[in-house]
Structure 1
Amino acid sequence: MIDSNVSPDDAEVAIAAARAGADVVRDMYGRRLARIDKGAGDFATTADVEAEKTILGILRAARPDDAVLGEEGGRRGAAGAVRRWLVDPLCGTLNYAAGSMLVAVNVALRDGAAAVADPFGGEVFFTDGESARVRHDGVDAQLAPTSATRLVEVNLDPPFPGAPGFRAVDLLAHAGFVERFRPRVVSTTLALAWVAAGRRAAYVTDGGDLSGSVHFAAGIALCRAAGCVVTGIDGAPIGRAGRGLVVAADAETHGLLMSMIRSRAPRL
């Protein structure tokens, strides 16, 4: 928790908030939880809601003038606030509800510090906006992206807004992909932290503008600070005009993936 007598920097606020949310997620794991239907097969659980409440408590105490956008509770705080936090209290809800521990808690200050907590691995990946580190058992280590594993996370969750031009699933049928990489699917943005940490070579998902997404903001910030190559599936910078996300440990890996994406999607 944050010492109320000390004014922490934004990275420490993000870490404290993500860690507090992760504690809730971990403590509620395995219980019979109520589900809140969101439609189209999507849902939240009581753990999502309680984790977000806990995160909001940390943010309000440390940064009372900031606004917050939470996945479950929507917008809070002054509409004209200059600073806004983006909160995904439990990324991988379906995994969690099915008894899988592959989940993440994401907290990001728009265009600033961010943290991604692994509730079960005990790690918090974080950035102050300039460098990227991981904290485990009180020890911080610099993140160092590498494509050595050749493992690429491909988000296969529908809907596929890029279809018929391109769907991330299309990569799996590309001969060049099979020759150079091995696909993995964890269905949580914890995978973005793994790219920053060198545990994955890349991450690919289609979709719209993800720069302001509560799901992706923390992971994108982390990967940028770690030195990864971050673009949309069309190779353009992430933003309102962008589509989807391609994050790679290095330029060579990014280039290979982009060539495959373009070959599968002539419209790009």
Structure 2
Amino acid sequence: MPITDHALAIAAAEAGAAVVRARYGSSLTRFMKIGNDFATTVDIDAEKAILDVLRGARPHDVVMGEESGRTGTDGNGRTWLVDPLCGTVNYAARTTLVSVNVALHTGTGSAVAASADPFSGEVFWTDGSAAYLRCAGTDERLVPSAESKLVDVNLDPPFPSRDVFLAARMLADDDFIDQFHPRVVSTSLAVAWVAAGRRAAYVTDRRDLSRSVHFAAGIALCQAAGCVVTGLDGEPLHTGGNGLIVAADERTHAALLTLVRRQRTATT
């Protein structure tokens, strides 16, 4: 029986996670990219494991890998977005806050996705209609919640919107301090945690994220789970606007939009 797309996303993410987990703590060769960004041998090997799974089941689909770039023939409207190790800096520092992300993008957005935590053994996944957590072979529906008041923010450069918005400034706002508790895990695993109710929200000023290998899986999970997902100005992501706000509910989203707009007003 042919494997479904969502089962394939899970299998691919788990294949990458197995490599990441097995190589943890080993000696890593680094390959510098732009600025201080780098990949390691584990990023490359995990991506190869993921691509082997995808290619074996869907040889005619396009694959966009963070390390290998675009491969495959275009034409069927299906592109797999692969981030083999989100949190490379954490991993290289022997910190286990990382994720392995796989998402299928079609003409209408990311149809299915999986985000695997190599060290907890958890896989957050969606078939496009609902979102789930798989652990020890059992699937549980993801239910967002703002109860924790924890807001994860991206504080890693570059800061493309710094003239009008900077996450570090938001953290110093008295209204933010009164309403929320900041967290920084420096991996898109935190986006999946919003869908799972472990974070109230996630904020980044990175641009045009709807087809990002880093964020596509987390965004798909949150949308399927019923989170509020927009750009920094509250605009739909497909419009190609700036940044990302993912919130567990409308109230949290509205509060964060107010904080963002306050910075924009102050700098204009």
TM-score by length of 1: 0.96
Which residue in 1 is equivalent to 2:35? 40
SS of structure 2 residue aligned to 1:13? helix
Show the 5 A alignment for 1:159-170.
Answer: 159-170=158-169
* Contact 1:171-1:261 within 8 A present in 2 as well: yes
After TM superposition, the structure 1 stretch with the greater mean CA deviation from structure 2, 41-50 or 237-246, is 237-246
Which residue identity lines up with residue 210 of structure 2 in the other structure? S
* Contact 1:67-1:78 within 8 A present in 2 as well: yes
Task: Give, in angstroms, the shift of residue 78 of structure 1.
Answer: 0.2
Which residue in 2 is equivalent to 1:3? none
After TM superposition, the structure 1 stretch with the greater mean CA deviation from structure 2, 164-173 or 130-139, is 164-173
Does 1:89 pair with 2:84? yes
Show the 5 A alignment for 1:217-236.
Answer: 217-236=216-235
* Contact 2:61-2:74 within 8 A present in 1 as well: no
* Contact 1:66-1:83 within 8 A present in 2 as well: yes
Deviations 1:201-221 (A, max 9, x none): 000000210111000000000
* Contact 1:155-1:169 within 8 A present in 2 as well: no
Task: Give, in angstroms, the shift of residue 171 of structure 1.
Answer: 1.2
Task: Give, in angstroms, the shift of residue 240 of structure 1.
Answer: 4.4
Does 1:117 pair with 2:116? yes
Which residue identity lines up with residue 52 of structure 1 in the other structure? E
2: CA distance between counterparts of 1:222 and 1:50?
Answer: 25
Task: Give, in angstroms, the shift of residue 173 of structure 1.
Answer: 1.1
* Contact 2:194-2:248 within 8 A present in 1 as well: yes
Does 1:60 pair with 2:68? no
Deviations 1:207-261 (A, max 9, x none): 2101110000000000000000000001101134311000000000000000011
2: CA distance between counterparts of 1:240 and 1:181?
Answer: 28
Percentage identity across paired residues of the two chains: 59
Which residue in 2 is equivalent to 1:78? 73
Which residue identity lines up with residue 81 of structure 2 in the other structure? L
Does 1:204 pair with 2:199? no
Q: CA RMSD in A?
A: 1.0
Which residue identity lines up with residue 20 of structure 1 in the other structure? A
Task: Give, in angstroms, the shift of residue 39 of structure 1.
Answer: 2.3
Task: Give, in angstroms, the shift of residue 80 of structure 1.
Answer: 2.7
Match for residue 15 of structure 1 among 5, 10, 17: 10
Which residue in 2 is equivalent to 1:246? 245
Which residue in 1 is equivalent to 2:215? 216
Deviations 1:145-185 (A, max 9, x none): 00000000010001100111001222101110000100000
Which residue identity lines up with residue 38 of structure 1 in the other structure? K
Which residue identity lines up with residue 77 of structure 2 in the other structure? V
Which residue in 2 is equivalent to 1:126? 125
Which residue identity lines up with residue 55 of structure 1 in the other structure? I
The number of residue pairs the alignment matches comes to 263
TM-score by length of 2: 0.96
2: CA distance between counterparts of 1:55 and 1:35?
Answer: 20
Does 1:51 pair with 2:50? no
* Contact 1:69-1:214 within 8 A present in 2 as well: yes
* Contact 1:229-1:248 within 8 A present in 2 as well: yes
1: CA distance between counterparts of 2:176 and 2:113?
Answer: 31
Which residue in 1 is equivalent to 2:153? 154
Which residue in 2 is equivalent to 1:30? 25
Does 1:105 pair with 2:100? yes
Deviations 1:2-23 (A, max 9, x none): xxxx311111000000000000
1: CA distance between counterparts of 2:196 and 2:222?
Answer: 9
1: CA distance between counterparts of 2:10 and 2:168?
Answer: 33
2: CA distance between counterparts of 1:219 and 1:20?
Answer: 18
2: CA distance between counterparts of 1:29 and 1:48?
Answer: 11
